[in-house]
């Protein structure tokens, strides 16, 4: 009886370790897949490419974006307000660089945070550089990972002297 109980404990313990190892492998692949979607996001901002953006954003109505210049809900609003009116019409050149990227996965949800630096050029030739922080929430869909929420912040202005 003691031998059977010990063998059973050994089998359960081994199963837990093997199951954990398989899950870690899945999490790692999920992080890689989320990173690929994130890289497409960066490219979609640099090029203001609505077609590319439509591949990575959820097309559901639960999609939500919060920026210093407004809150946008649903793909149609994000396409129009973020990609067309902001990125395409405001800038002739755009470059979004990410650093300190952190990706976390929990089942069918993932979140990503990063620091960003944006450089752009206005139609009049004037350039702009800004920095801030951004977070995304991704959801696993039948087509793969998609962005369902984005929030970005910029540093507050310095206090008056």
Q: List domains and CATH numbers for the chain.
A: 2-153 (3.10.450.50)
The whole-number pLDDT of residue 29 equals: 95
State pLDDT tens for residues 6-44. Answer: 444 444 444 333 333 333 448 899 999 999 999 999 999
Exposed/middle/buried for residue 160 (C-beta within 10 Å: 0-12, 13-18, 19+)? exposed
Reading the block at residue 49, the tokens are: 């490419």
- CA–CA dist 23, 7 (Å, integer): 24
pLDDT of residue 13: 41
Q: What percent of the chain has pLDDT over 70?
A: 84
Sign of torsion over alpha carbons 146, 41, 55, 48: positive
151 CA to centre of own chain: 10
pTM for the whole structure: 0.81
pLDDT in tens, 104-146: 999 999 999 999 999 999 999 999 999 999 999 999 999 999 9
């Amino acid at each position: 009886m003691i031998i059977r109980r010990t063998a059973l404990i050994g089998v359960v313990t081994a199963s837990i370790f093997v199951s954990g190892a398989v899950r870690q492998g899945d999490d790692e692949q999920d992080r890689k897949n989320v990173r690929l979607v994130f890289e497409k996001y960066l490219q979609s901002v640099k090029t203001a490419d609505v077609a590319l953006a439509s591949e990575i954003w959820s097309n559901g109505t639960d999609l939500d974006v919060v920026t210093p210049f407004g809150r946008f809900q649903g793909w149609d609003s994000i396409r129009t307000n973020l990609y067309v009116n902001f990125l395409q019409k405001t800038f002739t050149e755009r470059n979004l660089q990410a650093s300190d990227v952190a990706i976390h996965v929990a089942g069918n949800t993932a979140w990503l945070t990063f620091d960003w630096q944006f450089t752009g050029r206005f139609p009049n030739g004037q350039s702009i550089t800004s920095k801030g922080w951004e977070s995304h929430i991704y959801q696993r869909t039948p087509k793969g990972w998609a962005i369902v929420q984005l929030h970005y912040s910029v540093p507050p202005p310095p206090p008056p002297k």
